[in-house]
């Protein structure tokens, strides 16, 4: 169906350009009565991305224009700097003894406009696995380029990974791995060009108990469609803080080591080796020892640079921690850090919701830095998401998943884990144009 300026069908079509932008032939000055390609492209490039993809079904002409690589580039150039983002976490888990179709992950509204919404929502991942005997479900283990990596294995011996495009509902299954590790830390790295996914890697690290000079990895490559085992021999003994997720930057994955700093592994490099970037010298080492296991620290990427943040576990009565500090790595491949912020707990201002938890000795768990405002980061404070502003020194409560937990319990959908897993939360940023997944392996939601 072509878009004719005098067609009554256009006005009845649920289309934001039909009423305001479509004018009569004399007003548009188009002699043939149709919108030319250049005008249609300009209009479509300024609409929400989900609308654009829905309009592919209008006609072959529309589908051709929207599917062109040049249109994706134009759309990205017009995209707002206020990129939609949210906090994604395995906050609440449903026990799947009842069935295999229940969702386990809760998060604030996926398409939030740069601020956390006041409600949580269930995320239904495709290809979920479950049985009447085993209470297993999905586990979000990585995000990159608007894609989500999750596993829905039935047991510790069998893990099924899937790459999911949350914006479009597309899903790609990764060949099953049966390699048994102890505690596994999973990383996810992607490379894309022009809105298309060129390659990605899924990396599993065997986090052994205690220090080890031998590191065991398993790497899946989208180019080969296979897993390969990698063994790296280190000059120093490594003990990864496995509770905290690895961070991707420059195509490399970064883990926190308890004693030496940041372990760096490049899955795109065939040279099987790792290097270490030292941590700041004035950190509270108790935060990453075996007892605390990194619950109160965060290594993350902000505006292309590594940042390290900690809520010191040294207690100051009646509080459970003594203050908050933030460092930024001066140059990549160096161990030179700059202390960006340091505040004692007596100088932090708590809102009314958080003060009682602070006085009860609760230690906050860092979640993520605000993608645009370098002064703001987010923490898990018990069941609540809190924001901290390094300028105002204010800690504000933003959200509490009590409502969604109560809803699930009232529906009789199994028991729920009551303690949020803020340590495995992610900053999930939607790209201006959705990343395409391979058609031959893509399944619709």
Greater confidence (36 vs 117) lies with 36
Helix (H) or strand (E) holding 385: strand 384-389
Residue with tokens 């002409």: 61
Give dist(CA 112, CA 327) in Å, integer: 28
User: CATH 2.120.10: which residues of the chain?
Assistant: 85-444
Q: Are 149 and 159 in contact (CB under 8 A)?
A: no
pLDDT at 260: 93
Is a pLDDT exceeding 80 seen at residue 319?
yes
For residue 386, which of 407, 357, 360, 361 has the smallest C-alpha distance?
357
Greater confidence (384 vs 445) lies with 384
pLDDT at 371: 86
pLDDT at 303: 87
Give dist(CA 355, CA 318) in Å, integer: 11
Lowest mean pLDDT among 60-69, 148-157, 215-224, 425-434: 148-157
Greater confidence (106 vs 233) lies with 233
pLDDT at 188: 96
pLDDT at 443: 58
The percentage of the chain sitting over the pLDDT mark of 70, rounded to a whole number, equals 72
Is a pLDDT exceeding 80 seen at residue 383?
no
Residue 166 main-chain phi, psi, to 5 deg: -70, -25
CATH 2.120.10 fits 85-444, yes or no: yes
pLDDT at 126: 67
Give dist(CA 69, CA 196) in Å, integer: 9
Read off the pTM: 0.78
pLDDT at 34: 72
Kindly report, residue by residue over 171-199, the tens digit of the pLDDT. Answer: 889 998 878 887 889 999 999 876 678 89
Cα dihedral value 65, 110, 392, 385, nearest 10: -170
- Mean residue pLDDT of the chain comes to 77
Q: Are 5 and 22 in contact (CB under 8 A)?
A: yes
Kindly report, residue by residue over 200-252, the tens digit of the pLDDT. Answer: 999 999 998 889 999 999 999 999 999 999 999 999 999 999 889 999 999 99
Give dist(CA 377, CA 287) in Å, integer: 18
């Amino acid at each position: 169906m072509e878009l004719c300026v005098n067609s009554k069908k256009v006005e009845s079509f649920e289309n934001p350009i039909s009423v305001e932008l479509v004018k009569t032939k004399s007003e548009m000055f188009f002699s043939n009565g149709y919108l030319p390609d250049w005008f249609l492209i300009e209009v479509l490039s300024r609409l929400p991305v989900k609308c654009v993809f829905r309009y592919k079904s209008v006609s072959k002409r529309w589908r051709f224009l929207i599917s062109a690589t040049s249109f994706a580039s134009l759309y990205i150039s017009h995209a707002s700097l206020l990129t939609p983002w949210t906090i994604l976490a395995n906050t609440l888990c449903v026990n799947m003894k009842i069935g295999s179709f229940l969702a386990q992950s809760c998060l604030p509204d996926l398409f939030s406009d740069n601020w956390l919404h006041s409600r949580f929502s269930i995320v239904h991942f495709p290809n979920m696995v479950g049985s009447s005997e085993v209470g297993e479900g999905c586990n979000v283990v990585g995000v990159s380029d608007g894609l989500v990596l999750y596993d829905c294995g039935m047991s510790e011996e069998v893990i099924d990974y899937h790459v999911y495009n949350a914006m479009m509902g597309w899903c790609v299954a990764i060949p099953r791995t049966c390699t048994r590790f102890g505690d596994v830390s999973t990383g996810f790295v992607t490379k894309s060009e022009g809105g298309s996914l060129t390659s990605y890697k899924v990396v599993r690290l065997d986090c052994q108990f205690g220090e080890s000079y031998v590191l065991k990895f398993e790497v899946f490559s989208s180019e080969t469609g296979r897993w390969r085992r990698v063994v790296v021999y280190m000059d120093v003994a490594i003990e990864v803080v496995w509770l905290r997720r690895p961070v991707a930057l420059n195509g490399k994955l970064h883990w926190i080591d308890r004693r030496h700093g940041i372990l760096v592994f490049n899955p795109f490099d065939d040279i099987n080796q790792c290097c270490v970037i030292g941590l700041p010298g004035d950190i509270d080492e108790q935060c990453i020892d075996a007892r605390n296991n990194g619950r109160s620290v965060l290594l993350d990427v902000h505006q292309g640079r590594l940042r390290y943040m900690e809520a010191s576990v040294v207690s100051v009565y009646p509080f459970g921690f003594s203050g908050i500090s933030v460092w930024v790595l001066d140059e990549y491949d160096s161990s030179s850090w700059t202390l960006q912020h340091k505040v004692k707990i007596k100088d932090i201002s708590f809102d009314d919701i958080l003060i009682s938890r602070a006085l009860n000795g609760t230690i906050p768990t860092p979640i993520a830095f605000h993608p645009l405002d370098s002064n703001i980061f987010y923490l898990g404070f018990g069941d609540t998401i809190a924001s901290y502003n390094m300028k105002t020194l204010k800690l504000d409560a933003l959200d509490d998943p009590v409502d969604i937990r109560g809803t699930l319990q009232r529906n009789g959908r199994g028991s729920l884990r009551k303690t949020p897993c803020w340590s495995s939360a992610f900053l999930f940023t939607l790209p201006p144009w959705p990343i395409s997944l391979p058609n031959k392996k893509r399944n619709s939601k």
